[in-house]
Structure 1
Amino acid sequence: MGVWQLLAVGTVILLGLGGVLVPGVPGQAIVWAAVAWWALDDATGLAWTVLACATGVLLLNQALRPFLPPRRFKAAGVSRRSVLVAGAACVAGFFVLPVVGGIAGFLGGLYGAERVRLGSRGDGWASARTILRAGGYSVMAELYACLLVVGAWLGAVVRG
């Protein structure tokens, strides 16, 4: 696969990661489709292994979805900006502190955004907990699953 095609696949993956944060956009499906595009074009054992693992991780996340709270951000009065900041911090945290940094980044970004918005530590924590109960856990789980897939894809691209 050429450099331009890899950049196109990476762009589609980034759009999928953003789609996880936007209601109604199938972010997981977009990420999976980009990895499938890469695997079908690359057609090596490593590419097929990454695609199989990506399929497994994303299907496991879908199976766990009924056990997580549904996304009801509007009903809870959640600021869209806070969720976007938390998502960006999750992505950054995942690559700064591999694997575990995604969760810490999401929680830290969410708290930081709420603290800045509300102005006090106590109100920031209370609002962050409310957002997590209103669907933040499901967003974090879906974004984390997609980030695991992206990490495996990047590792395979760098190795290949």
Structure 2
Amino acid sequence: MDLADTNSTVTLLCGLAIAAGIVGVIVPVLPGLLLCWLGVLVWAIFADGGWPKWVVFAVVTGFAVAGTVVKYLWPGRNLKRSGVPNTTLLCGGALALVGFFVVPLVGLVLGFVLGVWLAERVRLNDTRLAWPSTKHALKAAGLSMLIELAAALAIAAVWGAGLAVA
């Protein structure tokens, strides 16, 4: 790979952005799916390859939009069915944000669990009843992450196939 060649440099940088996006889905520090999508957008704008790269970008955009929509709808529906209110999730998110800064990396997860448990403890006024709601919220967060990871990996696969074609 000749990095003096603009096309090679753009392709390498976009590949790194997509890889960082995939890591960002797993370790929620970076906006993972957005970073993957932006990597393909930059590739479509600046790399050589003609119109097939725009077809790749259109397919990738479809995966990004579908992944984002499904990431919120499916786990949210499961939480509604299990009776976990939105205020509980807001408390979990707020403590997750605090935990992220207090205990780097793992504080995000610990803060979310603690926030959901505390909110449910206050709402239900029973420690034993708060734990099932917390488990439902954790399952929903895990499902959301898996959906986003699947979309990011699909974006990477389509981009890789586009590299082979373009």
CA distance, structure 1, for counterparts of residue 55 and residue 141 of structure 2: 32
- Offset at 1:67? 2.4
Q: Which of 49, 69, 73 is 1:63 aligned to?
A: 69
Residue 6 of structure 1 corresponds to: 11
Indicate conservation of the 8 Å contact 1:50/1:156, yes or no: yes
Q: Which residue of 2 aligns with 1:88?
A: none
Aligned partner of 1:38 in structure 2 is: 43
Query: Does the alignment pair 1:20 with 2:12?
Result: no
Alignment of 1:1-160 (within 5 A): 2-42=7-47, 44-69=50-75, 73-74=109-110, 75-76=112-113, 133-160=139-166
Q: Is the 8 A contact 1:76 1:134 kept in 2?
A: no
Go from structure 1 to structure 2 and tell me whether the alpha carbon gap of 1:64 and 1:44 turns closer, same or farther (over 3 Å shift).
same
The normalised TM-score by structure 2 is 0.57
Q: Which position in structure 2 is the counterpart of 1:98?
A: none
Percent of residue pairs bearing the same amino acid type: 27
Structure 1: distance between partners of 2:56 and 2:8: 19
Gaps of 5+ in 2: 1-5, 77-88, 93-108, 115-134
Q: So what's the TM-score if we normalise by structure 1? A: 0.59
Change in CA separation of 1:56 and 1:134 when aligned onto 2, cut-off 3 Å: closer
User: Does the 8 Å CA contact 2:22/2:32 hold for their aligned counterparts?
Assistant: yes
Q: Return the index of the structure with the highest Cα Rg.
A: 2
Q: State how far apart, in whole Å, the 1-side matches of 2:43 and 2:74 are.
A: 31
- Report the residue type matching 1:39 in the other structure: A
Matched-pair contact (CA < 8 Å) for 2:113–2:138: no
Q: Secondary structure at the match of 2:75?
A: coil
Work out the number of aligned pairs and report it.
Answer: 109
Q: Which letter maps to 2:59?
A: C
Aligned counterpart, 2:125: none
Structure 2: distance between partners of 1:25 and 1:148: 18
